[in-house]
């Protein structure tokens, strides 16, 4: 265990060496889209024919994940019930519609991660709910708020255009729909376009292959609830990738496969999960009116630099933040300079990562495998993972780690992956290779917005996103973006950002309708001022140039003008939510022009 207690200089030298091995000039261009290489179709719901939609709706929302559901729910609560959600999947759920791989579960405590628990009366069954329960919560919201019967599933928007004279949006889709809406919302999600590693020969593989977000249960057997994938008993399976998805599905694959080879480029940091059932009596005792909002605020205060006295949620994220804060406040007050506080933060990080590396030694029997599974970077360089069966899976005789020493799989032949000249013969390759991040918004959504005076969103954002609150964009009246960037940017609990945006949008729409106003748009001056405010902040707290490459740091490429704008409110998420609540409830909506 000697290498987990390296001195700081040696540790940082090791971090740099591991990063340097992985730096590559092609950055995001190293990845391939799924289309043209592997099945992209929806494996979960058959597509049904329907007549194209025409006519007019009050509010059209693009995306049926958490963003569309919570915005739709808040609109309905505000008396705006003519809400049509358009969704490319065959049902609600977004991320949780597509990601049904075995073992999928939330990494943020269910009590704050699952939206609208109080409104729907659902009690989470586990501290960290599994995917089927999260998907069921999405369906519950859709049904309860009457969003289901108005939704258009298996429908991709192709054209969205503002008509200034009529003061409405025209929407055209791949299903022949052609209708208009007074208002639109966009909640297409940050991680929704699956990507593949650009490994030479990827198309030459003769066996079966799929991406984790298109899990082929017809091939594997089993189901999303974790039932044994009985059709894999005699199969040799390769899993490519060791990010948050792989960490969750490896134990299930290891249980089911004849043999499993896990191909690793960079190890994840895997901390303790400690999941367990939620006691109904305890839940009843805490679920007093307003409980979820209190918990959300408490989570954010604990996780994102607030001053909470107690930690109600106590999950992996609040533990991470509490530990750093404890280290900083242990400094005598007279020594609390920015420099010494950053040093304390760094020391807390080294202690944590040493503990995470020591955990690998404690859990993994084979010393060489244990060495290879250790993450050599600071914890927030890559998405932190939490699991109590991932590392342990490598103790099974049928489960093998193939460490590529930062280089990735060398090539793929008809028979399977090749690493360091060794051919691994397999029947099936599962790609846990993630999703596009950092590519242009319009490229990911598959359509451009054409706003006032023919302005395209791709042109408006050619040098990066510009907005007020991450929601309103000048030149695009009556359009609302529902996502975290340029708002709270609370990445550890994305749904909190969305529910606050949903509440705000419903308030604005209600305000416009009550006053007979047909257009609402952020002024150029308000948008510019907001962007200036964002740029005055400390920048991103995750990733960074010293980190091993990944989507947290633009794959190790130098920050661009666009990546510098991928930030949140400088004073942090708690302050942002307070600011937004005041902005919303003042009724003045400063920065917006109504006409």
**Residues interacting with ligand NDP, by CB under 6 A?**
22, 105-107, 191, 197, 199, 240-246, 248, 263, 265-266, 383, 408-409, 432-435, 550-551
Q: Which is nearer to ligand NDP, 95 or 504 (CB)?
A: 95
Measured distance CA(245)–CA(278) in Å, rounded: 24
What minimum distance in Å lies between the beta carbon of 197 and ligand NDP? 3
Q: In what order do the strands lie in the sheet with 259-264?
A: 208-211, 428-431, 236-240, 259-264, 399-403
What minimum distance in Å lies between the beta carbon of 285 and ligand NDP? 27
Q: Which is nearer to ligand NDP, 350 or 383 (CB)?
A: 383
Rg for the chain, CA atoms, rounded? 24
Beta pairing class for 178-186 and 479-481: parallel
Q: Report how far apart, in Å, the C-alpha atoms of 116 and of each of 149, 255, 291, 304, 389 are.
A: 19, 35, 11, 22, 30
User: Sign of torsion, CA 567 569 571 575?
Assistant: negative
What minimum distance in Å lies between the beta carbon of 411 and ligand NDP? 10
Listed in sequence order, the residues at least 6 apart from 239 whose beta carbon sits closer than 8 Å to its beta carbon are 246, 249, 250, 253, 260, 261, 262, 263, 429, 430, 432
* Sequence-separated contacts (24+) of 131-134 with Cβ below 8 Å: 131/96, 131/99, 131/100, 131/101, 131/104, 131/105, 131/224, 132/100, 132/224, 132/225, 134/93, 134/96, 134/105, 134/106
Measured distance CA(59)–CA(180) in Å, rounded: 9
Q: Which is nearer to ligand NDP, 224 or 408 (CB)?
A: 408
Q: Which is nearer to ligand NDP, 215 or 263 (CB)?
A: 263
Q: Which is nearer to ligand NDP, 96 or 583 (CB)?
A: 96
Residues 391, 369 contacting (CB under 8 angstroms): no
- 3-32 per-residue burial string, b: 16 or more CB within 10 A, e: under 16: ebebeeeebeeebeebbebbeeeeeeeebb
What minimum distance in Å lies between the beta carbon of 537 and ligand NDP? 22
Measured distance CA(581)–CA(157) in Å, rounded: 32
What minimum distance in Å lies between the beta carbon of 53 and ligand NDP? 32
Q: Which is nearer to ligand NDP, 550 or 568 (CB)?
A: 550
Helices (H), 287-337: 291-303, 316-329
| Residues in a beta bridge with 402 | 263
What minimum distance in Å lies between the beta carbon of 470 and ligand NDP? 18
What minimum distance in Å lies between the beta carbon of 437 and ligand NDP? 8
Encoding tokens for residue 41? 């179709």
What minimum distance in Å lies between the beta carbon of 384 and ligand NDP? 9
Q: Which is nearer to ligand NDP, 21 or 323 (CB)?
A: 21
Listed in sequence order, the residues at least 6 apart from 590 whose beta carbon sits closer than 8 Å to its beta carbon are 526, 583
Measured distance CA(572)–CA(557) in Å, rounded: 25
What minimum distance in Å lies between the beta carbon of 191 and ligand NDP? 5
Residues 102, 230 contacting (CB under 8 angstroms): no
Q: Which is nearer to ligand NDP, 248 or 501 (CB)?
A: 248
Q: Which is nearer to ligand NDP, 263 or 394 (CB)?
A: 263
What minimum distance in Å lies between the beta carbon of 547 and ligand NDP? 11
What minimum distance in Å lies between the beta carbon of 121 and ligand NDP? 24
Q: Which is nearer to ligand NDP, 242 or 497 (CB)?
A: 242
What minimum distance in Å lies between the beta carbon of 194 and ligand NDP? 8
Residues 253, 212 contacting (CB under 8 angstroms): no
Q: Which is nearer to ligand NDP, 250 or 450 (CB)?
A: 250
Encoding tokens for residue 130? 């599994």
Residues 305, 324 contacting (CB under 8 angstroms): no
Q: Which is nearer to ligand NDP, 313 or 460 (CB)?
A: 313
């Amino acid at each position: 265990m000697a290498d987990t207690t390296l001195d700081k200089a040696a540790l940082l030298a090791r971090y740099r060496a591991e990063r340097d091995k992985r730096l590559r000039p092609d950055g995001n261009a190293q990845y391939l889209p799924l289309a043209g290489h592997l099945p992209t179709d929806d494996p979960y719901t058959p597509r049904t024919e329907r007549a194209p939609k025409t006519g007019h709706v009050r509010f059209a929302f693009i995306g049926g994940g958490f963003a569309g559901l919570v915005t739709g729910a808040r609109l309905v609560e505000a008396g705006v019930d003519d809400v049509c959600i358009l969704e490319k999947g065959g049902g609600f759920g977004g991320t949780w519609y597509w990601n049904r791989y075995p073992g999928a579960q939330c990494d943020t405590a269910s009590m704050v991660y699952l939206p609208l628990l109080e409104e729907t009366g659902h009690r989470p069954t586990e501290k960290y709910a599994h995917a089927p329960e999260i998907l069921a919560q999405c369906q519950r919201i859709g049904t309860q708020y009457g969003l289901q019967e108005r939704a258009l599933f298996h429908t991709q928007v192709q054209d969205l255009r503002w008509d200034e004279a009529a003061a409405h949006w025209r929407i055209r889709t791949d299903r022949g729909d052609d209708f208009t809406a007074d208002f639109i919302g966009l909640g297409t999600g940050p991680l929704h376009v699956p990507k593949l590693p650009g490994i030479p020969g990827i198309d030459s593989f003769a066996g079966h292959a799929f991406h984790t977000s298109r899990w082929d249960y017809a091939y594997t057997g089993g189901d999303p609830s974790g039932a044994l994938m009985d059709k894999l008993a005699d199969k040799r399976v390769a899993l490519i990738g060791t990010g948050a998805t792989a960490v969750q599905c490896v134990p299930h694959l290891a249980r089911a496969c004849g043999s499993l080879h896990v191909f690793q480029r960079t190890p994840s940091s895997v901390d303790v999960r400690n999941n367990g059932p939620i006691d109904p009596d305890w839940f009843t005792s805490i679920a007093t009116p307003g409980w979820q909002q209190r918990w959300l605020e408490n989570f954010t205060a604990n996780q994102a630099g607030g001053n909470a006295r107690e930690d109600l949620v106590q999950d992996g994220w609040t533990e991470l933040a509490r530990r750093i804060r404890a280290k900083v406040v242990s400094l005598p007050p007279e020594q609390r300079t920015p420099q010494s506080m950053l040093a304390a933060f760094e020391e807390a990080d080294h202690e944590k990562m040493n503990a995470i590396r020591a955990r690998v030694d404690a859990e993994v029997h084979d010393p060489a495998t244990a060495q290879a599974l250790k993450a050599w970077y600071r914890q927030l360089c890559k998405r932190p993972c939490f699991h109590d069966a991932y590392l342990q899976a490598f103790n099974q005789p049928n489960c093998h780690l193939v460490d590529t020493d930062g280089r990735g799989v060398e090539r793929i032949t008809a028979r399977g992956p090749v690493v360091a000249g060794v051919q691994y013969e397999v029947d099936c390759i599962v790609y846990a290779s993630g999703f596009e991040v950092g590519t242009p918004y319009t490229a990911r959504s598959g359509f451009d917005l054409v706003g006032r005076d023919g302005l395209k969103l791709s042109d408006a954002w050619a040098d990066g996103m510009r907005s007020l609150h991450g929601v309103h964009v000048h030149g695009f009246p009556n359009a609302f973006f529902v996502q975290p960037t340029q708002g709270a940017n609370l990445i550890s609990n994305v749904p909190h950002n969305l529910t606050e945006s949903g509440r705000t949008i419903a308030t604005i729409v209600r305000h416009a309708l009550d006053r007979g106003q047909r257009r609402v748009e952020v002024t150029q001056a308000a948008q510019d001022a907001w962007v200036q405010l964002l740029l005055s902040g400390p920048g991103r707290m995750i990733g960074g140039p010293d980190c091993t490459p990944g989507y947290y740091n633009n794959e190790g490429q130098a920050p661009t003008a666009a990546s510098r704008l991928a930030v949140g409110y400088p004073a942090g998420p708690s302050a942002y939510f307070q600011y937004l609540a005041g902005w919303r409830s003042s009724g003045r909506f400063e920065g917006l022009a109504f006409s």
